[in-house]
Every structure is written in structure tokens, then in C-alpha cells.
Amino acid sequence: MRRIVSIVAVLGCLMVPACAPGGEEPGGTEGGGGTVKIGAVFPLTGASAATGKKTLEGVKLAAEIVNENLPDIDLPLAEGEGLPNLDGATVEVVSADHEEDPEKGAAETERLITSENVVAMTGAYFSSVTLTASERAERLGVPFVNGSSSSPGLTEERDLDFFFRTGPSDRTFAETFFDFLDDLNEQKGGKVNDVAILHENTEYGTDAAAVTEEVANERGYEVVATIPHGNGVADVTPEASKVKSIDADAVFQASYHA
């Protein structure tokens, strides 16, 4: 559902023609109608290809909801065909594979904007790729809406005019985790004091570990170990053995599915 809401947020922006670069009509249309192109950059190959492809399916489903008249679906723009403020213009999703590479993600974002003429972007699942891709979109004055990258730095450390995140950050996740542990200790008689953090050494994993440790200190929990592991590795036995030997009361993990 988060994938669908993210792309609907992109399309909601396009209900106002001023969202298009340079104040032009989106999709090169004159007087409304026609087609509005939305760029979508995700990992379609590599260790997270399955997730990237499923996310892209969600984006395409959202476009289908907008393009067709589906009044029984309780989502913005589902009733009626196309974008209402653009005389029913239909939405076309133009996708690209960033191959889990931040530089590739930035390059593909620029290509979609300058060559494919997309008027808004969504992506990119990997926080590291979202970082570079959104900065490239910012430079080109094109909205970039993200729903699945949780690194706090994407919104806390940058002052971008064209970047929007619809999903929670790792700070939100960490605060929720410790709300649960507080409740476990106070209401259920739990004895959780020491926590260990296991994370992958990417932008996402490193930022998630840092903010989890920060919130832990704020809440009075002791972080007894922070253990990184590689991205896309086939075996994390050494790291898991370290976690086991520490014997912490709780373990937080920040890793991609693979």
C-alpha cells in the first residue's frame, strides 16, 4: 500500500500544472489531455531485484488506478479517468534500473528527466541511491517522491525543495521499537535493559544503527554492541555468533531482505 500511496502523491502533485519543470504543461501537452510521464528508478537486477520489481508493480498499479474509472477504490484520483485538472491526461510510468548503484541511480534519474521527459520521479528503495537520485532531480527542478527509503538523513540533513518522503524514517521505527520495550518493561514485567544492533554497512544500515543508538540513550537503554555486516553477503555466521556471545536482552537488525 505504501508503494501505491507514494505514486498517488506524485500524481497528486501533477494536479497542479505548476509542478512541471519551467511551468510547462506536464507531458508536453497543450491545453490538457495527452500523457504525463512519471519516472521510476528501482533495483531491477542484483540482490534486491525481487523487491524492486514488486515495488515497480505497485507504481504501475497506482497509475492504472488513476487512468481508469474505479470509484469503488477509496484512494485519491481513483474515481474518474486520468488527471482531472489536466483534462483527463493519462499517466505513463517510465522505469529504470539503478542496479543498486548510487551513481547509476543519479545518471538514470537525469536520463529519465532530460531524455524521456518525465515531469516527476519516484524511487529508489535503497537510501544510498535515493540520496544521489533525489539530489540530481533537485538540480533539474523536478519533484522526487519517496516511500520506501528510511534513512533519517534524507530529510533531516538536507534542505531540498523538490524531495518528499511519504513513509516513516528510521527515527520513527526506532522510537516505535523503544515504545514497545518500554511497554514490555512497565506493563508486562519485562527486564530489557541491554540491546545489541546488527546492521549492514550501507547508507540505510549505518544511519539506522546510529539513530537507534541515539534513541536508546534517550530512553535509558544501554547499547552493548553495534555489529556491521556486508551488503548482499551469503553468510553472516560470524556476525550472528558475536550477537549470540554478547547475550543482550534485545537485538535490533537493519538489513535489506537478501
Instruction: For residues 6 and 74, give the distance between their C-alpha atoms in angstroms, rounded to a whole number.
Output: 15
Q: Across-strand partners of 192?
A: none
Let me know: does 224 contact 246? Beta carbons within 8 Å: yes
- The domains located in the chain, with CATH, are 2-165 (3.40.50.2300), 170-254 (3.40.50.2300)
Higher pLDDT, 231 or 39: 39
pLDDT at residue 139, as a whole number: 97
127 vs 31: CA distance, rounded Å: 38
- Within 10 angstroms of residue 41's Cβ, the number of other Cβ atoms is 31
What is the tens place of the pLDDT at every residue in 118-177? 999 999 999 999 999 999 999 999 999 999 899 988 998 899 999 999 999 999 999 999
Residue 14 scores a pLDDT above 50:
no
User: Are residues 154 and 169 in contact, defined by beta-carbon separation less than 8 angstroms?
Assistant: yes
pLDDT tens digits for range 64-117 = 999 999 999 999 999 999 999 999 999 999 999 999 999 999 999 999 999 999
> pLDDT-derived band of residue 22, with 50, 70 and 90 as boundaries?
very low
pTM > 0.85: yes or no: no
**Amino acid residing at 176:** T
Distance between CA atoms of 129 and 75, rounded to whole angstroms? 28
Rounded Cα distance, 24 and 87, in Å: 15
